[in-house]
Amino acid sequence: MTDVFGWVRPFATGLLPVRLERLLQEAGLLAASEGLLRSRLRVGRVGDILFAHSAPGAAGDAAVFLGPDSHRFARFLRQTLEGAPVARRALDIGVGAGAGGLTLLSCGFAEHVVGSDVNPDALRLARLNAAHAGLSLHTRLGSGPPGAPEIFDLIVANPPFIAGASGVTYRDGGDLHGAALALDWMRAGVDRLTPGGRFILYTGAPVVEGEDVVRTALEELVRRRGLTLSYEEIDPDIFSSSLRSPAYRDVERIAAVGAVIKG
């Protein structure tokens, strides 16, 4: 099983239990590979939960990503929310395979969690991952926070933050060297918070001439809205290979950061 769903290695028909192989075939989750089969799904662990997500090479917007940032995101949530009051209603924007939302549920940080995403495949996998973990995750199709009148005690997000138009929704963060989407979600999200509610953001922050673009924008947001901000640089240098792209010609580094805005 580790070779098939962990390392996604080619395997011969008959290696898996007959019923499992048949179900995977019927769901279109097995691909032919030089006379062998290869799983279109990969299974990884974040914390104590197993997550099915896309295998390497999945095409475009059909891909559902889970990787190192998912682990850092979940760890930041656990660090930030340990000992905090339990949220009655929480939202995970861009839920993907469900790393954020299921961390909230499994750790008892929230009673009711909604996961939103523009990718129907992501929502399907998030629901399946929740069911396998014995958790109840509610999903919504769409980008950013749901519109009024829905409000939440807690909103979390790990948005795409890579600059340049790759054509992959889970990767592209828009303008401002990839920071625009994170900032758009944060600006919209603070309007969906209950009084005293919190928005927890994990993202990549481009640093230009020594200035953290995300931190500067969030400091301006909290100043104008009368909110409070705590901010942490989690890793000073991630995705360094992306700096070769023309979209990063004036960027010194990309830092992994965690921000908490409180209403």
Query: Is the Cα torsion angle 192, 49, 28, 136 positive or negative in sign?
Result: negative
Q: Terminus-to-terminus CA distance in the chain, angstroms?
A: 46
DSSP string, 2-23: IIIIIS---B-TTSS-HHHHHH
Predicted TM-score (pTM) of the model is 0.93
Q: What is the dihedral of CA 3, 125, 85, 222, to 10 degrees?
A: 110
User: Is the CA virtual torsion 239, 244, 249, 253 positive or negative?
Assistant: positive
Write out the chain's pLDDT in tens, 263 residues. 889 999 899 999 999 999 999 999 998 999 997 889 999 999 999 999 999 999 987 666 668 989 999 999 999 999 999 999 999 999 999 999 999 999 999 999 999 999 999 999 999 999 999 999 999 999 999 988 887 789 999 999 999 998 876 555 556 788 899 999 999 999 999 999 999 999 999 999 999 999 999 999 999 999 999 999 999 999 999 999 989 989 899 999 999 999 999 98
Question: Kindly report the CA angle at 69 between 64 and 75, in degrees rounded to 5?
Answer: 120
The Cα–Cα gap between 236 and 224 comes to 28
| Contact of 163 with 207, CB cutoff 8 Å | no
Distance of CA 90 to the CA centre of its chain: 15
Token couple for 257:
């950061």
Q: Distance between CA atoms of 204 and 217, rounded to whole angstroms? A: 13
